[in-house]
Amino acid sequence: MEVVIVPDATAGGELIAEAIAALLSRKPDALLGVATGSTPLPIYQALTAKVRSGAVDASRARICQLDEYVGLPAGHPESYRSVVLREVIEPLGLSEKSFMGPDGTAEDVQAACEAYDKALTEAGGVDLQLLGIGTDGHIGFNEPCSSLASRTRIKTLTEQTRIDNARFFDDDIAQVPRHVITQGIGTILESRHPVLLATGEGKADAVARTVEGPVASVVPASALQLHPHATVVVDEAAASKLKLADYFRATYAAKPQWQGL
């Protein structure tokens, strides 16, 4: 696992956008897994700026969702399909044909989960999967004690996650769905390059347990330690509880430029 400490969220977004740009230059039709929430917005903003300036050609890129609420209508502004269309697809000038995600409105949710997991494989696998991290250490919506071998499936959200997400629903937790479809931890680990961005002091405990703690299902993000090419990008606040922070800074400073992110 590579840990990169950056000054702030803007710097983190720019760094990861550069990595995506490099990927698209090598593989124009790369499949990019995207996350929602406020944390990845600097990535999408930096990547959009590169596309609009002509520095990056994303016209053949493919986009896939990490997760989706169950039961929200497809057109609901806070369905993750709507969020991805609004924050990623439209700004990058892509069409919905380039986009794939699970069906949170399906009558048979389990079948929808299995179909999406299969679709990711048939698409050639995810080349770069963006991830955020919950205050309890979850990635995607793999809540604590999720199986580290789990596949795309339905999950019940913890009360803390619903509280954290209420800000997107007028601060009304009653509006936050209780169930989601999420890529499983095993599914996420099949991506060629998982990249986690964490910012803010509120994520410091989760980051420290993910990076320096044991691999344990109680901290789902710790499973990234098992991946041969996982990157964790954190700002100074999110890195504040890392015991090896100085080592991570020195390692990244000495990294050969040709290696990239």
Return the active site residues: 67, 136, 138, 143
Whether residue 45 contacts residue 83, with contact meaning beta carbons closer than 8 Å, is answered with no
Q: What number of H helices and E strands is found in the chain?
A: 8, 10
Distance between CA atoms of 143 and 158, rounded to whole angstroms? 7
Distance between CA atoms of 227 and 190, rounded to whole angstroms? 8
Nearest of 218, 219, 215, 238 to residue 227 by alpha carbon: 215
> Residue 245 belongs to what H/E stretch?
helix 245-253
Q: How many CB atoms lie within 10 A of CB 102?
A: 30
Whether residue 12 contacts residue 56, with contact meaning beta carbons closer than 8 Å, is answered with no
> Taking the chain, what is the end-to-end CA distance rounded to the nearest angstrom?
11
Distance between CA atoms of 102 and 223, rounded to whole angstroms? 23
Nearest of 138, 178, 146 to residue 162 by alpha carbon: 178
Whether residue 48 contacts residue 81, with contact meaning beta carbons closer than 8 Å, is answered with no
Distance between CA atoms of 245 and 247, rounded to whole angstroms? 5
Query: Tokens 């990056």 — which residue?
Result: 56
SS3 of residue 120 by DSSP: helix
